[in-house]
Chain A
């Protein structure tokens, strides 16, 4: 079920009403409703893959229970690796099998050997990368004894399948989300209103910004041979806003929906395009994934401790694995590696934590220095996104070589209508709201009611004005 669909617009109020009607009953029943609603939400897309979620849930719950019963180091390791292998096994099979097979065949063909192995016609289960990482975080935390294993299977099933963030995150830590299923939730009016506001903003980002940008990005990327450097740069720019609007919009709707049900999810995006360097960008982009890799991969590898070669190795590993997490294509690996190249000079010169706070905090405008740094960081991310969007690495390279040619200074061949204006308005709103959790969290709060309502109605009209294109959320495929 898509958040920007009528199906969800009907599903949400029904589940919301039932959920709060049940609040005076047993907490387990309320959690059971969440599980049922989540399975319905997921099964709406393809019910067959519900078995995968259920299986993952049973495996990690069981592993957690057994981990609590033994202190034997060897047994605990076996249990941990059972969970890791099963979860990553599913992920590897559905997501990476054909990639490895194709590359294996290509590698053999270099030596003159011809392998005849058929690839698999498998559908990638929506959200598998997200819920796999979420359940893994539970097992690893229990193994590390930083989290008590749950004995409440329903609460655990609700944690794994919680529908607002099941298919595209934020990837919640068990330590944050799971305890929320143990406690009785009380309806909070201001929290619910805030949730609705965040849903509204998320829909605006998705339908108005991302889907509009997608139209042009698709045309330009799909026909890149026909266009000059200037148009290709515009295409990359459109994709830059498409992916941000799409993914952060989804996260906003997920977080907002969770608030309606009395849950707090972590912030997943913190205005990344206003970052002053790439290190700051990665602290603000897909925060739940970046921190997951930091805690469960980077730090166990040694993090930034050790010599220079260790730092370089770990940085490349985390960025390349992060890139590969997005998809079984060399483009994602190159995208990750390119970000590592961007990041390394900052880390090696110990400047990777120089921009921690909000840019130009308390000011209307950034300083010239901040503006230049933001522009450079933004430009670097635009270039990196070309690899993310391209069909393959050679497509990305030819795309970039055309951008960095003299045709960059020719007239653009694509008419973009009002989309650039929309992007400009969007960037201004984001800038105004950059000190909040999401852009419109505090915009209009102190305005007179008619103005505030007019602002919200304007957003609603804009959403419906541009609705109908219904592009799939990009991150569903990851």
Chain B
């Protein structure tokens, strides 16, 4: 028995050591999460407008176009529970905060990162934000959440090719540019992906928005809720019931909290084909348009 244990440990030891070394190497690679966490640690006290949300705000709202001191703390696939956790983590440091900009999209109340197909991104909140995203062990280490093949590629890209691994701007906007993909096809596929027959997370997600609004109220901060613009192929394929339920909940909560306002850009005609990188994400020109509109709202100017 003892012999078996020693031999097994001896056999596995090189594997464990190699993986620990790899974990350390990966953690030293800067990424959006570590960058934004460090930015918030250092600059939270200066931020006047905080943007939260998923890829719709990551690619869709550029703080450069805001007159107030703005930071975009959204991440791809970030669900509303994580928006709340980020706000909770920094609320005491956000001493100058005047407003939060938070997209509530078609899927927001139906989706959680921890239970969705992008669950592997959850480790970024545990490892880099030190936020307890889930109790899943795989969320506690890079090497446990992503395959060896991808991790080796990340190490090679950073250490050997010295390529940039942060994909957001200094103010947190997702500036990565890729050519436009088929708006018709992505409209169908994205709407399908965002439509849920049922959702066990619905009630908790609505409650989470309530908590965000309550926290903001306690902080004496305004919350600007918005539904992001999308291309017609996406809008046309949405489930009307899911959309209606979402809008009903938003309006109910906006009425409950006087410190909140809601703007629906989903079918805003001012966003043209060329403003989209795919059917539900804006490109740089689209994000400039949306950011300026939001800035006008914030600054109290009238919309054209």
Give the B-binding residues of A (Cβ under 8 A).
5-7, 10, 20, 121, 187, 189, 192-193, 196, 453, 456-457, 460-461, 464-469
CB of A6 within 8 A of CB of B144, answer yes
In this complex, what residue of A is CB-closest to B143? Answer: A464
Q: Quick one: which of B1, B11, B149 contacts A465, CB cutoff 8 A?
A: B149
Q: How many residues on B have C-beta within 8 angstroms of the other chain's C-beta atoms?
A: 20
B15 nearest in chain A by CB position: A460
B145 at the interface (CB under 8 A from A): yes
A6 to B144, CA, bound (A): 7
Chain A CB within 10 Å — which of B14, B137, B145, B147 has the most? B147
Q: How far is the CA of A381 from the CA of B103 in the complex (A)?
A: 51
B137:A7 contact, CB within 8 angstroms: yes
Are B137 and A10 in contact, CB atoms less than 8 angstroms apart? Answer: yes
Complex contacts, B15 vs chain A, CB 8 Å: 457, 460
Question: Are B137 and A193 neighbours in the complex by a CB distance under 8 Å?
Answer: no
Contact A465–B148 (Cβ < 8 Å):
yes
- Which residues in B have their C-beta under 8 angstroms from that of A456? 11
B138: CB under 8 A from chain A? Answer: yes
User: In the complex the two chains form, is B148's CB within 8 Å of A467's CB?
Assistant: yes
Decide if A467 touches B147 in the complex (CB within 8 Å).
yes
A187 touching B1, Cβ below 8 Å: yes
Minimum C-beta distance from A272 to chain B (A): 29
Which 6 pairs of residues, A with B, have the shortest CB-CB distance? A468-B147, A464-B148, A6-B137, A465-B148, A467-B147, A187-B1
Assess whether A468 is in contact with B1, with CB atoms less than 8 Å apart: no
A260 to chain B, nearest CB (A): 9
Q: Taking CB as reference atom, which chain B residue is nearest A468?
A: B147
A10 contact set on B, CB distance < 8 A: 137
Interface of A is mostly: helix
CB distance from B42 to the nearest CB of A (A): 33
Interface residues of B (CB under 8 A from A): 1, 3-4, 7-8, 11, 14-15, 19, 120, 137-138, 144-150, 198
Write out the residue numbers on chain B whose beta carbons fall within 8 Å of the beta carbon of A466.
Answer: 147-149
Structural contact, B4 and A468, CB atoms closer than 8 A: no
What are the residues of chain A within 8 A of B137 when measuring CB–CB? 6-7, 10
Do A187 and B149 touch (CB < 8 A)?
no
A-B contact pairs, 15 of them (CB 8 A): A5-B138, A6-B137, A6-B144, A10-B137, A192-B4, A193-B4, A193-B7, A196-B8, A457-B14, A460-B15, A465-B148, A466-B147, A467-B147, A468-B145, A468-B146
Chain A, Cβ-Cβ closest to B8 = A196
Tell me the smallest distance from the CB of B204 to a CB of chain A, in Å.
18
Q: Note all chain A residues with C-beta closer than 8 A to B3.
A: 189
Complex CA gap A243/B4 in Å reads: 33
Complex alpha-carbon distance, A7 and B138, angstroms:
8
**Structural contact, B4 and A465, CB atoms closer than 8 A:** no
Q: How many whole Å from B4's CB to the nearest CB in chain A?
A: 5
Alpha-carbon gap, A407 to B265, bound state (A): 46
Closest to B14 in A: A457
| Cα distance, A222 to B14, chains bound together (Å) | 41
Given contacts A6-B138, A6-B144, A468-B150, could you give 9 more A-B pairs where the C-beta distance is less than 8 Å? A5-B138, A6-B137, A189-B4, A192-B4, A193-B4, A457-B14, A467-B147, A467-B148, A468-B147
Residues of B within 8 A of A453 (CB): 11
Given contacts A189-B4, A193-B4, A460-B15, contact A465 B144 (CB under 8 A): no
- Bound together, the chains give a CA A468 to CA B3 distance in angstroms of 32
**A468 B11 Cβ-Cβ under 8 A:** no
User: Whole-angstrom distance from the CB of A328 to the nearest CB of chain B?
Assistant: 18
In the complex, chain A residues whose CB is within 8 Å of the CB of B4: 187, 189, 192-193
- Chain B residues with CB under 8 Å of A465's CB are 147-149
Residues on B with beta carbons closer than 8 Å to the beta carbon of A464: 19, 147-148
Q: What is the bound-complex CA distance between A465 and B11, given in angstroms? A: 19
Q: Which residue of chain B is the closest to A461 with respect to CB atoms?
A: B148
Give Cα A291 to B230, complex, Å: 57
- CB closest chain-B residue, reference A460: B15
B-chain residues with CB within 8 Å of residue A7 when the two chains form the complex: 137
Cα of A187 to Cα of B3 in the assembled complex, Å: 11
Task: Give the complex CA separation of A469 and B138 in angstroms.
Answer: 12
- A189 to B120 CA separation, bound complex (whole angstroms): 38
Q: Would you give the shortest CB distance from A80 to chain B, in whole angstroms?
A: 40
Judge whether B11 and A20 touch: CB under 8 Å: no
Residue of B nearest to A16 (CB): B5
Residues of A within 8 A of B8 (CB): 196
* Complex Cα–Cα for A192 and B7 (A): 12
CA–CA, A468 and B139, complex, Å: 12
Chain B residues with CB under 8 Å of A469's CB are 147
Chain A residue with the shortest CB-CB distance to B144: A6
Most central of A456, A461, A468 by chain B CB within 10 Å: A468
- CA of A7 to CA of B19, assembled, Å: 17
* Whole-angstrom CA separation of A187 from B4 in the bound complex: 10
Q: How far is the CB of A453 from chain B (nearest CB, A)?
A: 7
Complex Cα distance, B1 from A5, in Å, reads 25
Task: List residues of chain A with CB within 8 A of the CB of B150.
Answer: 468
Q: How far is the CB of B252 from chain A (nearest CB, A)?
A: 26
- Among A456, A464, A465, the one with the most B-chain Cβ atoms within 10 Å of its Cβ is A464
Interface pair A20/B148, CB less than 8 Å apart = no
Closest to A211 in B: B147
> Nearest chain-A residue to B12 (Cβ)?
A460
Q: How far is the CA of A464 from the CA of B150 in the complex (A)?
A: 10
Complex: A461 Cα to B4 Cα, angstroms = 22
The interface residues of chain A lying within 8 Å CB-to-CB of B19 are 464
